[in-house]
Copies of this chain bind each other. A is one copy, B any other.
C-alpha cells in the first residue's frame, strides 16, 4: 500500500466526518448520516468516474472505502466531544484530503487520455463535488460556491500537475508539487480570509 493510498483513506475518513457533522445539524438518523457521509467522501470520485465512463466506479470493487466511511461515522457518533474539539485538526486533514483527491482525479483522467484542461476539471471534481452533493442533499446552497477559496486551490494544483507533467518532470515531483500547491493555497486563503469576488 503506497503513501498515496494511505492519504486517500485518511481523506475519505475526514470527508466522512464532515458529512456526519452536516447530518447531525439536520437531525438525520444513523442511516442518513452514513449516506451523507458517503456522498461527501466518495461522491466526487463517483461523478468523475461516471462522466469518464471509468465504470464500475472506484469504490465498487474495493469495499474498503465504505468500511472506512462507516468507521468514520461510528467514530463521530461515539466520540462526539472529541470530534468537536478537533476542529483545527479536522480542517488540516480536510485540506490534506482535497490536495490528495485533486492529484488522484487529475492523474486518473490523464491516464485515460483526457485533454489536459479537462484533467484539471476532473481533479477538482474529485475534491469538491462530494461537498456540493452533501450540501444539496441537506437542502443548502453549496458552501464552496461562497466561502474562502477552495475549488480554486484545486484548479491551481491540478494545473501545476498538468504543466509539470508536460515538461516530463519526474512523477513523484509532479505529485507532491500538486498536493502541496493545493494545501498551500488553501491554508493561505484561510489565514488571510481570501475569497473570490462575488457576483453582484
Contact = CB atoms under 8 A, between A and B. Distances in A.
Contact of A199 (B23, B50, B141): B23
Closest 8 CB pairs of A and B: A53-B55, A32-B145, A29-B196, A24-B199, A28-B145, A30-B196, A31-B151, A63-B117
Interface string A55-75: 111011101001000000000
A60 B31 CA distance: 31
Given A28-B198, A152-B31, A199-B33, A51 B57 contact: yes
Interface in A134-164: 136-142, 144-146, 150-152
Given A20-B199, A35-B132, A60-B118, 16 more contacts: A23-B145, A26-B145, A28-B141, A29-B195, A30-B197, A30-B199, A31-B144, A31-B196, A32-B145, A46-B51, A50-B50, A53-B53, A63-B115, A137-B142, A139-B139, A139-B140
A15 to B, nearest CB: 17
Given A141-B26, A145-B31, A55 B63 contact: no
Interface of A: 20, 23-24, 26-33, 35-36, 46, 50-53, 55-57, 59-61, 63, 66, 77, 112, 114-115, 117-118, 121, 132, 136-142, 144-146, 150-152, 195-200
A27 B143 CA distance: 12
B27 A146 contact: yes
23 contacts: A23-B145, A27-B146, A28-B199, A29-B145, A29-B196, A29-B197, A29-B198, A31-B196, A32-B145, A35-B151, A51-B55, A52-B60, A53-B53, A53-B55, A56-B112, A59-B118, A60-B115, A61-B114, A63-B117, A66-B121, A136-B136, A138-B141, A139-B139
Given A28-B145, A60-B52, A77 B118 contact: no
Nearest to A46: B51
